Structure 1
Amino acid sequence: MTRDATDTRLRLRLLFPGGGMLGPGKADLLDGIARTGSISAAGREMRMSYKRAWTLVETMNATFRAPLVERSRGGTKGGGAELTELGQEVLDRYRRLEDIACREGAAEIAALSDLLGDMSEEK
């Protein structure tokens, strides 16, 4: 489920021991790849260059115990990409964590939001 720029829900950035990260951009890229079957198409949807999208895919593939995205080259169908079973599991678990954090942390998120300064005049 891809989320648009107007989505005001909490977005998680997970920082793992050893330097691995998973956040909204990578999750949205995985969503796009699953939906379009293409790294470049998913990147275009996000207004991201192919190089940037491919770099993020390479980073995720190297971070987890096995690749999250598999790419196929050329051929009669022109190649493409798809999430591996692990890639789909990682995306599903990340989205569930987002939902849990929003639901269970709603009161704390609201309280923190109330503590934010007024940025309308760009202090």
Structure 2
Amino acid sequence: MAGKDHPELKLRLTLRGGEWLGPGKADLLEGIAETGSISAAGKRMKMSYKRAWGLVEVLNGMFREPLVASSRGGAGHGGAELTETGHAVLRLYRRMQANAVSATEAEIAQLMQLTDIPDRK
């Protein structure tokens, strides 16, 4: 759990062309997979519809095949889902995150010991 007393390791992978895949884009992909909607996934992240769509367009352009397939339609008719490639990218990124955390646990613990500041009364 990251926060005031817990460190957080963020993995940001820069790909060809300077585009990057990081925790926010991975969370958006995960939200789309769970909700079936770009709009709903964006709302969960307190992100505007326009911003969520823009990120999906960036993500779809980063890989050989799109990560998100969407269909237009009015209320109840549209939707979005991860493609096979989208599921693979999300799975690989989450595995990389977990590996990065486990590979650096000892160093993070040592850094945290160096940040402990005793009460100064």
- In the TM superposition, 1:1-123 aligns within 5 A as 9-74=8-73, 77-114=76-113
2: CA distance, partners of 1:82 / 1:23: 19
1: CA distance, partners of 2:16 / 2:75: 42
Query: 1:77: how far off?
Result: 4.0
Structure 1: tracts of 5 or more residues without a match: 119-123
Larger Rg: 2
2: CA distance, partners of 1:95 / 1:49: 24
* Richer in helix (by share): 2
Query: 1:78: how far off?
Result: 1.4
Percent pairwise identity: 59
1: CA distance, partners of 2:56 / 2:50: 10
SS of aligned partner of 1:18 = helix
Query: 1:99: how far off?
Result: 0.5
Task: Map Cα deviations across residues 39-63 of structure 1 (whole Å, 9 max, x no partner).
Answer: 0000000000000000000000001
The farther-off stretch of 67-76 and 101-110 is 67-76
| Closer/same/farther in 2, CA of residues 39 and 8 from structure 1, 3 Å limit | farther
Query: 1:17: how far off?
Result: 3.4
- TM normalised by structure 2 equals 0.83
1: CA distance, partners of 2:12 / 2:87: 18
